[in-house]
A and B are shown apart, each in its own frame.
Chain A
Amino acid sequence: MNRITHYLPLIFFIFLIIGLFTFLDNEESDLRSVLLDKNFPDFSLSKLENQEIVTKNDLVELPSLLNVWATWCIACRVEHPFLMRLRNESTINIYGLNYKDDRSKAINLLDQIGDPYEFSIFDHEGILAIDLGVYGAPETFLIDKSGIIRVRHVGVLTPEVWEEKFNGVLNNLKEDEK
């Protein structure tokens, strides 16, 4: 009897940890995707390469990806080759969201390393980024044909992440069209 009471706090602690993890871990993944299955927010910002104003209606070739990037974002360089590959294999269209960046620096960088985007939206103030719930770069969104956000990924887009999170959803979208 005494033995058990000695270990009671430990047992209780283990249950507490398990309980907290199972309850709160689910929530953690929830809050990264508040915008899932919601409409892509309206916006009116200029293109990166010129001052031309673009809106949601200019994202014409859907489904497509929206990739948040910046010259100050080192992780964005890591995913850049994969984005180029997606473009070259014409897997999907990619729109860029240039986030809190310097316009000329950003244009120079794309000239040097290649431009995987149809065009980039220049969001110097982070206005569209806030509406998307972005809190860093890189982030990638998959938008379906009717302009609804289907996948959100925070962090580097690797081939593994693509297989795991994006490819299946994209194939489903394509099948629904048929």
Chain B
Amino acid sequence: MKNRTLVCILCLLSFTAESESSKEVYSFVIDENQERFYTLLDTYRCPKCQSSNLSGSNAPIAKDLKREIHRLIEEGKTDEQIEAFLRSRYGDFILYKPALRKNTLILWLGPFILLSLIVFLVVSWNMSSKRKSKDLEAEQIVKVIERTRLKKLFEED
């Protein structure tokens, strides 16, 4: 049991060691740019990877792009200019947040259409089932009344 906990702890430690090693040190003339740099790396997707951002990837291309982004920041480029730089080369693929365009409309509007459809269906189902249960109630009441009437008739006999 003790061994097992030890193994678990070691496993956890090894993970943090790995993620630390993938962060290379980039120094900036202006300190605030460091934070900007890491935010940008988190924002863009590595072109080589299926689903990993630039900061999470060790692919050679990701390293090159980190270097380029570092260079662009040091040259005083704005975030918009850096995004334009990346998009003109790698297209929308590098964006996790797709641009609002004709062919991406389904991504932006799809969830809302889906939600309103579900709300509509649930409400209409609810209404019809309520109506049904009300009908049943009424039927029950009628039955009770009829029964008491019958009973009375029998008793009178």
What are the 6 tightest A-B residue pairs by CB atom distance, in nearest-first order? A31-B91, A135-B47, A133-B89, A34-B91, A126-B64, A31-B93
- The answer to whether B92 touches A31, judged by C-beta atoms less than 8 angstroms apart, is yes
Kindly state whether residue B144 has any CB partner on chain A within 8 Å. no
Cα(A24)–Cα(B65), bound, Å:
26
Within 8 A of A (CB), among B48-77: 48, 60-61, 64-65, 67-68
Chain A, 21-52, contact with B by CB distance < 8 Å: what is the 0/1 string? 00110110011101100000000000000000
- The answer to whether B103 touches A23, judged by C-beta atoms less than 8 angstroms apart, is yes
Task: Determine how close the nearest CB of chain B comes to the CB of A44; give it in whole angstroms.
Answer: 16
Q: Which residue numbers of B lie inside 8 Å of A, CB to CB?
A: 47-48, 60-61, 64-65, 67-68, 87-93, 103-107, 110, 117, 121
Main secondary structure of the interface of A (DSSP, over half): helix
Known: A131-B89, A133-B47. 16 other contacts (CB 8 A): A12-B117, A23-B104, A24-B104, A24-B107, A26-B103, A27-B92, A30-B91, A31-B90, A32-B93, A34-B91, A125-B64, A130-B64, A130-B68, A132-B89, A134-B61, A135-B90
- The answer to whether A27 touches B60, judged by C-beta atoms less than 8 angstroms apart, is no
Q: In the complex, which residues of chain B have a beta carbon less than 8 angstroms from the beta carbon of A35? A: 89
Q: When A125-B64, A136-B48 are in contact, do A130 and B89 touch as well, CB less than 8 Å?
A: yes
A-B contact count (CB 8 A): 57
Q: Which residue numbers of A lie inside 8 Å of B, CB to CB?
A: 8, 12, 16, 19-20, 23-24, 26-27, 30-32, 34-35, 100, 125-126, 129-136
Q: In the complex, which residues of chain B have a beta carbon less than 8 angstroms from the beta carbon of A131? A: 89
Q: In the complex, which residues of chain B have a beta carbon less than 8 angstroms from the beta carbon of A12? A: 117
Q: In the complex, which residues of chain A have a beta carbon less than 8 angstroms from the beta carbon of B93? A: 31-32
Cα(A131)–Cα(B65), bound, Å:
11
